């Protein structure tokens, strides 16, 4: 199995100034209000086969099946992704939270994956609408990911223009999500007009 003990791998995949053909995903699953994780790991996409999200969700589902006797447990799942989920993975993540109501999911991404595609934008909106928290990583998020999954003994070394790229990514994501709000508000207005006419 791949090991994430290489600083080079972390900086290569999570550097938001550099493009990559891989998606690296680091995840932690823990019970709400508890410090220690119950399950954690990392994975890459398998080119031509499974995406990183699919691989991680499969492992997480298997773990949760073993805990079914503890139905009262609430979990928090945090994912750090080098790229935001594609349209298909957004659908898989949305289906996951609908089937696993005891799990609260947060996704932090270094880069946005083809945000110019309409299908991608629409499914990112559906992802957030399902209750999943989606954010573009900033300096503190990179530091935390580095500390938790790579090397807690060394300091995170920022790359040039990290903050600028993070701000750009946040602005693009905000625009995508606000487009959903605008559409929703328009539909609400039309519904109110219909009710008035009735």
Q: What pLDDT shows up at residue 47?
A: 72
Q: Which residues of the chain have pLDDT under 70?
A: 1-5, 69-71, 180-198
Quote the pLDDT of residue 131. 97
Nearest 5°: CA angle at 113, between 111 and 119?
Answer: 145
Per-residue pLDDT, 6 = 73
Does residue 63 sit within a domain? yes
CATH of residue 134: 3.40.140.10
In this structure, is residue 69 part of a structural domain? yes
The number of distinct structural domains making up the chain is 1
pLDDT tens figures, 122-157: 999 999 999 999 999 999 999 999 999 998 888 999
Enter the pTM of the model. Answer: 0.87
Is there a domain that residue 2 lies in? no
Q: Assess if residue 21 is contained within a domain.
A: yes
Measured between alpha carbons, how far is residue 39 from residues 5, 78, 82, 110 in Å? 18, 11, 20, 22
pLDDT of amino acid 71: 62
User: Could you tell me the residue range of the domain that residue 30 belongs to?
Assistant: 7-197
**b/e per residue, 17-41, with b = 16+ CB within 10 A?**
eeeeeebbbbbbbbbeeeeebebbb
């Amino acid at each position: 199995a791949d090991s994430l003990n290489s600083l080079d791998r972390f900086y290569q995949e999570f550097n938001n100034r550099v493009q990559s053909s891989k998606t690296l995903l680091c995840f932690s699953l823990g019970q709400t209000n508890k410090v220690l994780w119950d399950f954690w790991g990392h994975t890459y996409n398998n080119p031509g086969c499974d995406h990183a999200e699919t691989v991680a969700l499969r492992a997480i589902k298997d773990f949760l099946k073993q805990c079914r006797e503890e139905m009262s447990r609430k979990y928090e799942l945090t994912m750090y992704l080098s790229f935001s989920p594609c349209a298909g993975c957004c659908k898989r993540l949305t289906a996951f939270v609908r089937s696993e109501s005891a799990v609260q999911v947060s996704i932090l991404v270094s880069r946005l994956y083809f945000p110019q595609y309409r299908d991608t934008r629409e499914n990112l909106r559906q992802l957030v609408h399902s209750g999943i928290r989606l954010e573009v990583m900033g300096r503190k998020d990179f530091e935390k990911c580095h500390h938790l999954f790579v090397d807690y003994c060394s300091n995170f070394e920022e790359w040039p223009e990290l903050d600028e790229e993070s701000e750009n990514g946040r602005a693009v994501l905000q625009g995508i999500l606000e487009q959903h709000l605008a559409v929703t508000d328009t539909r609400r207005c039309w519904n109110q007009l219909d009710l008035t006419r009735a």
